[in-house]
Amino acid sequence: MSVKREAEQTNPQRYALWLKPENEVYGVLKRIIDDLASEYNAPAFEPHITVAGSIDRPEAELKDLVTDLARESEPMTLHLKETDFRDSLYRALFVHIAPNDTLLSLRERCLTRLKKEHEPYMPHVSLMYKEMEADRKKEIIERVGERFDLVFIPDKLYLVRTVGGPGTWKEIMHASLKS
């Protein structure tokens, strides 16, 4: 067996489906993410909302899924709300997304087609991936703001390969949402 083939079997591909903010909101969030990454020696990454993650399926199948889901998805207006944190690397510091039925429907349809368990969902945009004390995170929230009150309408659904850390994540393709 070739080394590449063996590596693929021991390190399966992982994918996620994302929505991204556009233009101005993207710029605001990206600046915050990059500034925090630089200041706290944390990884920089694209601002995004994970619709579904930790997906182990063939890439071609996922491309078809993204295309189908995007074609069926109604436009949605997403509201960024309060800044928060958890004791979790990938939820170290984030902004909540206000409840949105269209986003929840997109996620449910995705999980159903993937035959994945429908786990509780907390839509959010991460601002930093870094393990640190809660007091430090509270200080950062005071600096970046406790509320964002930003609104955006995502126009694409993205397929992203998420093997390794954020620096190695790679956008595979995207499909435009129904307008």
What pLDDT is recorded for position 51? 98
The tally of CA atoms less than 13 A away on the side-chain side of residue 146 is 3
Average predicted confidence (pLDDT) for the chain: 92
At 13 the pLDDT is 74
What the block records as the tokens of 31 is: 């600046």
| Cα–Cα distance for residue pair 127/129, rounded to 1 Å | 7
Between residues 60 and 178, the one the model is more confident about: 60
Q: What is the pLDDT of residues 127-175, one digit of tens each?
A: 999 999 999 999 999 999 999 989 999 999 999 999 999 989 999 999 9
**pLDDT at 35 (0 to 100):** 98
* pLDDT tens string 82-110: 999 999 888 999 999 999 999 999 999 99
The domains of the chain, with CATH numbers, are: 13-176 (3.90.1140.10)
68 pLDDT exceeds 90? yes
pLDDT score at 87: 92
* Contact between 81 and 95 (Cβ < 8 Å): yes
Overall average pLDDT of the 109-126 stretch: 95
Rounded to whole angstroms, how far apart are CA atoms 127 and 144?
A: 10
Looking only at the bridges linking them, the beta strands covering 49-55 and 78-84 are: unpaired
Burial of 126 (0-12, 13-18, 19+ CB in 10 A): buried
